[in-house]
């Protein structure tokens, strides 16, 4: 079904389907184009195992005017971390790893430079002090998994592991990938493991390592908002850190540009498990929806699901992140709900991405959610996403968390 809405002097086509009772999400989706500067995007929601929202619309390619289609995919930056976290959770359900075990049990070389006591749980919660190293910007290193493993193993923590937290912007995925290679009987990369153990069984299109055969016509280029606007939309501490070349956040994100390709929009056959995933909002929502409803399609154990839903374990000095300059709880490769970003119920788990994308599971109400835009914003919590999640909450009879709809309008007025 198609809908239309006025956007300035132009019309935008909105396509897809919305089940009865979820019309508020469709209205919020259209309102993003009318009021919040949306260019092209997609939003999908699974509820109690059923796809209840599947929307796409706007412009895929600003230069050509080509529309966002049903099968359009886009880069989701750190939203990828959540999908990688799902892959590690599948491995946990298969008995391949224990979140409370030391990483060095599975990967002996990891114990170098005082890392022998770091647990899997601490590593996945950005508490290992391994948030940056220069080699993340070298494609030759990150595509040679044996060489990359040696680089990872010889890193020295920036502080006593478990005492502080700093966002492991890219390194988290590389450490997860090598850990998974060590415990998987087939020694698969994280991207291949995700594809074979999650994407193929569920029939979803999300890639951690985009194949060469995917045509450019299916990919939505990203269009960043101007840096000048970020001074009004980011916390001041993070904005200042982002402007400082040797800050922790700049160092943690060194190498993100490898995900892009001047000739083919996105890099092909390059696994960046913490920030290079490419797919559809439908795929993200479906994967999280399976985890939100017990995971029988993937053979998940109840023990694994309890771990994902459990409250996060704070480092000694709390959740104040030394790179992001704000308080944010992480657990097992995911972000967890927090007063500044209250997504879903307390047991929810998911991950936002730079620019506005987001995906999460809410097991309490059995929801899987995915949202992807191609006009990337400069928010820690994007007002377009807030509007959609607020509409979702109303649709299932949940109270808007901390006045989410009002908050999205406040953020809109600040821009």
Q: How far is CA 332 from CA 68, 123, 314, in A?
A: 33, 8, 12
Q: What angle do CA 116, 118, 120 make, to 5 degrees?
A: 125
Q: Is the pLDDT of residue 4 over 50?
A: no
CA dihedral 75, 79, 84, 86 (to 10 degrees): -130
Segment 237-247, tens digit of pLDDT: 877 777 788 89
The per-residue pLDDT for range 132-151, each reduced to its tens digit, is 999 999 999 999 999 999 99
Say which residue, 117 or 7, is predicted with more confidence. Answer: 117
Of the pLDDT bands very low, low, confident and very high (cuts 50, 70, 90), residue 8 is very low
**Three-class SS string for 103-164?**
HHHHCHHHHHHHCCCCEHHHHHCCCCCCCCCHHHHCHHHHCCHHHHHHHHHCCCCCCCCCCC
Summarize the confidence of residues 288-307 as an average pLDDT. 98
**What domains lie within the chain, and their CATH numbers?**
2-74+213-293+347-414 (3.40.710)
* Confidence (pLDDT) at 233: 66
Over residues 335-381, the pLDDT tens digits come to: 999 987 889 999 999 999 999 999 999 999 999 999 999 999 877 78
Q: Is 213 exposed, middle or buried (0-12, 13-18, 19+ CB in 10 A)?
A: exposed
Q: How far is CA 364 from CA 44, 47, 148, 361, in A?
A: 18, 11, 39, 9
In this prediction, residue 7 has a pLDDT band, given cuts at 50, 70 and 90, of: very low
Q: CA–CA separation, 32 vs 35, rounded Å?
A: 5
Nearest to 180 by CA among 156, 149, 147: 149
Smallest Cα–Cα separation from 81: which of 376, 404, 360, 387?
360
pTM for the predicted model, two decimal places = 0.93
The pLDDT tens digits of the residues spanning 305-316 come to 999 999 999 999
- pLDDT at position 226 is 65
With 50 as the cut, is the pLDDT of residue 414 above it? no
How many other C-beta atoms can be found within 10 angstroms of the C-beta atom of residue 212? Answer: 7
pLDDT tier, 28 (very low <50, low <70, confident <90, very high otherwise):
very high
Cα–Cα distance measured from residue 296 to residue 294, given in angstroms and rounded to the nearest whole number: 6
How high is the pLDDT of residue 228?
55
């Amino acid at each position: 079904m198609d809908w239309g809405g006025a956007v300035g002097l132009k019309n935008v086509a909105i396509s897809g389907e919305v089940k009865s009772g979820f019309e508020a999400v469709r209205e919020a989706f259209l309102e993003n184009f009318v009021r919040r500067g949306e260019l092209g995007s997609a939003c999908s929601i699974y509820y109690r195992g059923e796809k209840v929202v599947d929307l796409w619309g706007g412009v895929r390619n600003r230069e050509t005017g080509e529309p966002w289609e049903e099968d359009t995919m886009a880069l989701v930056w750190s939203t990828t971390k959540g999908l990688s976290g799902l892959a590690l959770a599948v491995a946990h359900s298969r008995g391949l790893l224990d979140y409370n075990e030391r990483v060095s049990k599975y990967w002996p070389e990891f114990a170098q430079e005082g890392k022998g006591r770091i647990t899997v749980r601490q590593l996945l919660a950005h508490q290992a002090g391994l948030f940056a190293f220069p080699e993340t910007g070298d494609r030759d290193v990150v595509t040679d998994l044996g060489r990359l493993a040696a680089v990872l193993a010889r890193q020295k923590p920036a502080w006593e592991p478990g005492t502080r937290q700093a966002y492991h912007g890219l390194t988290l995925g590389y450490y997860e990938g090598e850990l998974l290679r060590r415990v998987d009987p087939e020694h698969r990369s994280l991207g291949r493991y995700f594809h074979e153990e999650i994407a193929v069984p569920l029939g979803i299109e999300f890639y951690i390592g985009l194949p060469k055969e995917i045509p450019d016509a299916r990919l939505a280029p990203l269009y960043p908002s101007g840096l000048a606007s970020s001074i009004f939309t980011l916390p001041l501490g993070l904005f200042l850190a982002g402007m400082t070349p040797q800050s922790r956040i700049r160092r943690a994100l060194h190498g993100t540009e490898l995900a892009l390709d001047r000739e083919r929009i996105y890099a092909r056959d390059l696994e960046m498990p913490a920030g290079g995933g490419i797919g559809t909002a439908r795929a993200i929502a479906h994967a999280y929806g399976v985890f939100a409803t017990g995971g029988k399609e993937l053979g998940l154990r109840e023990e694994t699901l309890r771990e994902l839903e459990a409250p996060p374990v704070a480092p000694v000095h709390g959740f104040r992140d030394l790179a992001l300059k704000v308080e944010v709880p992480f657990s097992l490769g995911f972000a967890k709900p927090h007063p500044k970003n209250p997504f879903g119920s307390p047991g929810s788990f998911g991950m936002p991405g730079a620019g506005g994308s987001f995906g999460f599971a809410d097991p309490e109400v059995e929801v899987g959610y995915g949202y992807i835009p191609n006009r990337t914003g400069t928010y820690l919590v994007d007002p377009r996403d807030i509007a959609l999640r607020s509409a979702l909450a109303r649709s299932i009879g949940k109270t808007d968390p901390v006045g989410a709809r009002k908050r999205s309008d406040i953020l809109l007025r600040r821009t």
